[in-house]
Amino acid sequence: MVHLDFPQREMAIKLVYYGPARSGKTTNLKNLHGRIAGAARGRLMALDTTDDRTLFFDLLPIHFRTGSGLSIRVKLYTVPGQVLHNSTRKMVLTGADGVAFVADSQVSETRANNESYANLKQNLREIGLELGALPVVVQWNKRDLPGPAIRGEDEIAEFAARGPEPVYRATALAGDGVIPTFLGLLGLTWDRLDKKFELASKFGVPRADFFNALLRSLGLEPSEMDAAEVPLRVLAAGSGRAADRGEPTGP
């Protein structure tokens, strides 16, 4: 749950990167960590096992201040993908303001994707939420692998068209798609929180000011925002609004 301190003009947002083991959740955070300007970048805490799997969770704090003086801290978490760590996933998910589901594009990981997506829905229900009640984006990672090994572009477009969540393609190791996924999720989250808490009027921070401050912390120009935010769903939706087509069945 977002933390708001109106007298101190402080705000903290929690975003969680969810998905199967080795799908690229930690790689997303490491890439973001490398992009953030020094003053805004917190310490990346990554707790890995000897085989580079996340043992508990990763945490990356990003801190920046808007032109009106609102201090914002965005806390990015990952969850461990292994089945035996479900209690940890549920704990990390509690209080989340938005979720990025990182799916593995490899055909061999189809079952792992589906099971992790179902697990996300189940854990949300157990903490009193439904998938549609929380801002969610889907990232299909590892798009750089050989064609026969990964889901085809047509399959990804079909998935994007049948569900409400914005969908992004990524190669997190190279940094491709990492920033768009992050900005897309944070955009949805800000809109949801602004509607609920009237952030723009109470803090005097319009959406554009919030993102301009964020983009500066990432070393980006405001003019790069629009292109970065466009998800595959918008490009592949065809007819009708994707949000009206019901809940997706999973990656």
DSSP one-letter string for the chain: --EEETTTTEEEEEEEEE-STTSSHHHHHHHHHHHS-TTTB---EEEE-TTS-EEEEEEEEEEEE-TT--EEEEEEEE---SGGGHHHHHHHHTT-SEEEEEEE-BGGGHHHHHHHHHHHHHHHHHTT--GGGS-EEEEEE-TTS-GGGB--HHHHHHHHHHSSS-EEE-BGGGTBTHHHHHHHHHHHHHHHHHHHH-HHHHH---HHHHHHHHHHHTT--GGGHHHHH--HHHHH--SS-GGGS------
Is the residue at 183 inside a domain? yes
Is the residue at 45 inside a domain? yes
The token pair that represents 29 in the structure block:
């955070």
The neighbour count for residue 3, using CB atoms within 10 Å, is: 13
Average pLDDT estimate for 238-242:
32
Q: What percent of the chain has pLDDT over 70?
A: 80
Question: Cβ contacts of residue 162 below 8 Å, gap of 6+?
Answer: 242, 245, 246, 248, 249
Tally of domains in the chain: 1
Question: Taking the CA atoms of the chain, what radius of gyration do you get in angstroms?
Answer: 17
Give residue 223's pLDDT.
66
Assign residue 101 the CATH number of its domain.
3.40.50.300
75 phi/psi in degrees, rounded to 5: -105, 120
The token pair that represents 208 in the structure block:
């554009």
User: Is the model more confident about 7 or about 16?
Assistant: 16
Tell me: pLDDT of 239 over 50.
Answer: no
Average pLDDT estimate for 45-71:
68
Average pLDDT estimate for 15-26:
93
Tell me: pLDDT of 37 over 80.
Answer: no
Give residue 236's pLDDT.
36
Is the residue at 251 inside a domain? no
Is the residue at 230 inside a domain? yes
Tell me: pLDDT of 106 over 50.
Answer: yes
- Calculate the alpha carbon distances from 129 to 18, 57, 92, 95, 101 in Å: 15, 21, 14, 10, 16
Give residue 217's pLDDT.
85
Tell me: pLDDT of 55 over 80.
Answer: no
Question: Which of 36-45, 47-56, 59-68, 133-142 is predicted least confidently?
Answer: 47-56
Is the residue at 152 inside a domain? yes
Give residue 244's pLDDT.
35
The pTM of the full predicted model, rounded to 2 decimals, is 0.86
Give residue 52's pLDDT.
44
Cα separation, 54 vs 219, whole angstroms: 28
Is the residue at 120 inside a domain? yes
Structural domain range at position 83: 3-244
Q: What is the pLDDT of residues 145-177, one digit of tens each?
A: 998 999 999 999 998 888 889 999 999 999 999
Tell me: pLDDT of 203 over 50.
Answer: yes
The token pair that represents 163 in the structure block:
């569900």
Banded model confidence at residue 201, pLDDT cuts 50, 70, 90: confident
Banded model confidence at residue 99, pLDDT cuts 50, 70, 90: very high
Give residue 174's pLDDT.
93
Average pLDDT estimate for 68-86:
82
Is the residue at 249 inside a domain? no
Tell me: pLDDT of 226 over 70.
Answer: no
207 phi/psi in degrees, rounded to 5: -55, -40
Question: Which of 64-73, 78-87, 90-99, 101-110 is predicted least confidently?
Answer: 78-87
Is the residue at 112 inside a domain? yes
Average of per-residue pLDDT values in the chain: 82
